[in-house]
Amino acid sequence: GENVEQHPSTLSVQEGDSAVIKCTYSDSASNYFPWYKQELGKRPQLIIDIRSNVGEKKDQRIAVTLNKTAKHFSLHITETQPEDSAVYFCAASMIKAAGNKLTFGGGTRVLVKP
């Protein structure tokens, strides 16, 4: 089955700096790569996703890049703000008719220091 590794496990940045989280996946058949944000005590929520036919996607201060050959993808947060403090999870799956069975990475705890 799919295996997703995520690094680093914790990341501390100064407000206004950039944060980068990296993930690798094992199954070359995976074609969908979302990122979920989980604030303390809350449910995970999708913040951005990318399909394997796209190399990069951006949404305001958040961007995701995908390297299919190397089987890795990254989340980039620019101009970090205190509200970006949370745990971020990457995931991978192969979208097909039988649902979207995501395999998650271990998570990255991001702390933005004011």
Q: Residue numbers of the site for another protein (CB under 8 A)?
A: 1, 4, 6, 9, 32, 34, 36, 42-46, 49, 89, 95, 97-107
| Residue 93 DSSP class | B
Q: What is the nearest approach in angstroms of another protein to the Cβ of residue 109?
A: 8
Q: What is the nearest approach in angstroms of another protein to the Cβ of residue 43?
A: 4
> Could you tell me the sign of the dihedral formed by the alpha carbons of 93, 91, 1, 52, in that order?
positive
Nearer to another protein, 19 or 92 (CB): 92
Q: Which residues make beta-bridge pairs with 26? A: none
Q: What is the nearest approach in angstroms of another protein to the Cβ of residue 16?
A: 28
Nearer to another protein, 65 or 93 (CB): 93
SS3 call for 109: strand
Contact 56, 114 (CB under 8 A): no
Contact 65, 51 (CB under 8 A): no
Q: What is the nearest approach in angstroms of another protein to the Cβ of residue 19?
A: 18
Interatomic CA distance for residues 79 and 28, integer angstroms: 33
Nearer to another protein, 2 or 20 (CB): 2
Nearer to another protein, 34 or 80 (CB): 34
